[in-house]
Amino acid sequence: MPKKKKKQKLQNKSNLVTKINPKSPISEQYRIIRTNIQFSVVDKDLKTLACTSSMPEEGKSTTISNLAVTLAQQGQKILLVDADLRKPTIHQIMKVKNRHGLTTLLTKKALPDEAIKQAPDVDNLYILTSGFIPPNPSELLGSKMMEELISTFSEQFDLILFDTPPVLAVTDAQILSNRCDGVVLVIKSNQTEKKDLVKAKDLLDRSQCNVLGIILNAVDQKDANYYNYYRAENE
């Protein structure tokens, strides 16, 4: 009985609507986000994109996972990386094992072929889970080895998506976002405080991160138009 409850909990955590129901209105909104992001960088190719939030529980991991699926459905070769080395969830959302991952690559305890997995039932999408939780996440993400991995993967994939920790919790998101071509900030309707959003945006700007836009998550259909789901930062 306990095993059954645990399995049910993991199933509820998935929330991959773009995979389960690609014709739904919510899936269409992810495709709109995909298009807006693709057109937000006009002066160079977008090869690396980080996703973060101001605080925990705002939906960043679910958002970046669904965005990864829509990009892969378009035919691009996508690598989704769980760079939240403190509270990783991508392996649960994507339903893959987390034996080898980013930390095992950074510490040279595994090879890329051992750590990178094909996403179940999604062509063109590959997953690099977090691996073991290290005692020094910020140092690993800011390491020379991390820079080399990003460079190597950028040649092998059309786009790399990074799920990072919340900006106001730790410095990890700032460190990694600074190395990416762009970053999107996820906020949750009726939960994210304006002061937290402003502070998070300010910290990313100070770290010279290229903030492409803000994704408003968990909007009530009765209170808002779905097509306001994505708001570019310059609007």
Q: What element of type H or E holds 91? A: helix 90-94
Class of domain 2-232: alpha beta
The domain limits of the chain are: 2-232
What are the tens digits of pLDDT across the range 142-158? 999 999 999 999 999 99
The pLDDT of residue 222 is above 70: no
pTM of this prediction?
0.87
The pLDDT of residue 1 is above 60: no
Q: What element of type H or E holds 126? A: strand 125-128
Residue 178 neighbours by CB under 8 Å, 6+ apart: 207, 208, 209
Beta bridge partners of 79: 126, 160
Share of the chain above pLDDT 90, in %: 79
The pLDDT of residue 229 is above 50: no
Query: Which residue do the tokens 């570019």 mark?
Result: 232
Instruction: Let me know: does 26 contact 138? Beta carbons within 8 Å.
Output: no
What are the tens digits of pLDDT across the range 73-119? 999 999 999 999 999 999 999 999 999 999 999 999 999 999 999 99
Task: Give the DSSP letter string of 151-218.
Answer: HHHHHH-SEEEEE---TTT-SHHHHHHTTSSEEEEEEETTTS-HHHHHHHHHHHHHTT--EEEEEEES
